[in-house]
Amino acid sequence: MKIVFSCHPTLGGSGIVATELATALARRGHQVHLAACKRPYRLRADSGVTFHKVNIPEYPLFMYPPHDLSLANKLAEIVRQFDIDIIHAHYAIPHAITALLARQVVRPQRARVVTTLHGTDITLVGSLAEFYDLTRHAMLQSDGLTAVSNWLAQETVRRFELPAAPEVIHNFVDTEHFRPEGRAPYPAPGEPFHILHASNLRPVKRVADVVRVFAGVQDQLPAQLTILGEGPEKGLAQELAAELGLCGRVTFASTANDVPGVMRSAHLNLLLSDHESFGLSALEGLACGTPVAGSDSGGLPEVITEGETGLLCPVGEVACTVAKAVTLLKNRTEWERMSRAAASEVRERFGVERVVPRYEALYERVLAGEGQRRDVSRSNPRDRAGGTR
């Protein structure tokens, strides 16, 4: 098949998933293109994916250069030039809408649109009044619609009153890169435990809870914390770490050249978000044999098996996470068992071979005209008084 991807090339999980899926499909013999205003940092030179840069021209009349139109134009160009079958849009805003526009532009040539919902495109951005109608329209008009967790699929139907739920295709991880071999062993007596948090440090990640949990753990065990990523809450986390007297034990790193290596160096990965549709960084850590302490909310319980591969506590319950984390870290046998179980469960449930064929099957169905049922008769909840969102 011939597929073109569009995604956010920045640090978020949706761009990573799109890039890894594009790479996996190219390896499986498909012709794969990816269009974005910047090369996604995870798109490796040997990926087999053709990257197309979207240029965004400046013009004095434009107060805000219309990136989305340049992207739609580029997608249409690629579809025509390479006779593309599928435009796969990752993250509803703006990629699903730009894909629909490109589909319309190339007519009578037929290209199908598959949209993958990642989370905040539904729960935060898409639910804003300024984007709600466009997001709903894009979902209804896509030929195929997927969500990365059961939780997100249900949340989408609830907020947007869709006639049918998106198909759930969980995220996956390349277990050749994210593997446990060479991981840090259980620390020798007196050596510190390494605790990790990796995210784009937005408010939804509750980075202050990460610092507070670390403070509680290091009261009872020698430990150090790495906060990997950039984002608006970084300053707050730095201030809190200083206030709690943790400066020497907390390292902030914007990026890492070797993300799997960082994951392998950690003994516990913290993801204490308010909600997380899936939690890709939890999955990547698990693949490296690093147990996760996560929030018992959103899609995280679909990724972390409580007591088997990680620990779950209600959102904001710092004391619960501290208690469970300390119990685990103090017990070498249990930590080693959980580390092994994490890596092996990920291979079994979230490996490339398990998940990528689900997308191929969806593309086949969509091309055969068996895409999602487009019953658009159900009215937009925003048109009715008291509509639920």
CB 14 within 8 A of CB 90: yes
- Residue with Cβ nearer ligand GMT (313 or 322): 313
- Residue with Cβ nearer ligand GMT (19 or 73): 19
- Residue with Cβ nearer ligand GMT (279 or 301): 279
Tell me how far apart the alpha carbons of residues 336 and 291 are, in angstroms, rounded to a whole number.
Answer: 10
One-character DSSP codes across 289-356: T--EEEESSTTHHHH--BTTTEEEE-TT-HHHHHHHHHHHHH-HHHHHHHHHHHHHHHHHHHBHHHHH
Among 3, 17, 266, 293, binds ligand GMT (CB under 6 A): 17
- Residue with Cβ nearer ligand GMT (143 or 276): 276
> Which pairs from 367-376 meet CB under 8 Å and 24+ separation?
367/1, 367/85, 367/86, 367/112, 371/112, 371/142, 371/143, 371/144, 372/142, 372/143, 372/144, 372/145, 372/164, 372/166, 372/167, 373/163, 373/164, 374/140, 374/141, 375/163, 375/164, 376/140, 376/163
Between 318-330 and 332-350, two packed helices, what is the crossing angle to 10 degrees? 110
Q: Is 12 in the site for ligand GMT (CB under 6 A)?
A: yes
- Residue with Cβ nearer ligand GMT (12 or 289): 12
Q: Is 119 in the site for ligand GMT (CB under 6 A)?
A: yes
Q: Is 278 in the site for ligand GMT (CB under 6 A)?
A: yes
Among 14, 73, 142, 321, binds ligand GMT (CB under 6 A): 14
At 25, is the secondary structure helix, strand, or coil? Answer: helix
For residue 142, the minimal CB distance to ligand GMT (Å) is 17
Alpha carbon 8 to its chain centroid, in Å, reads 11
Q: Is 146 in the site for ligand GMT (CB under 6 A)?
A: no
Among 135, 277, 309, 372, binds ligand GMT (CB under 6 A): 277
Q: Which residues pair with 142 in a beta bridge?
A: none
- Residue with Cβ nearer ligand GMT (274 or 360): 274
Among 166, 180, 279, 310, binds ligand GMT (CB under 6 A): 279
Q: Is 259 in the site for ligand GMT (CB under 6 A)?
A: no
Q: Among 98-106, 114-122, 189-197, 377-385, which window interacts with ligand GMT (CB under 6 A)? A: 114-122
At 60, is the secondary structure helix, strand, or coil? Answer: coil
Among 87, 139, 204, 213, binds ligand GMT (CB under 6 A): 204
Among 31, 200, 238, 265, binds ligand GMT (CB under 6 A): 200
For ligand GMT, the binding residues (CB under 6 A) are 12-15, 17, 91, 118-120, 148, 171, 199-200, 204, 273, 276-280
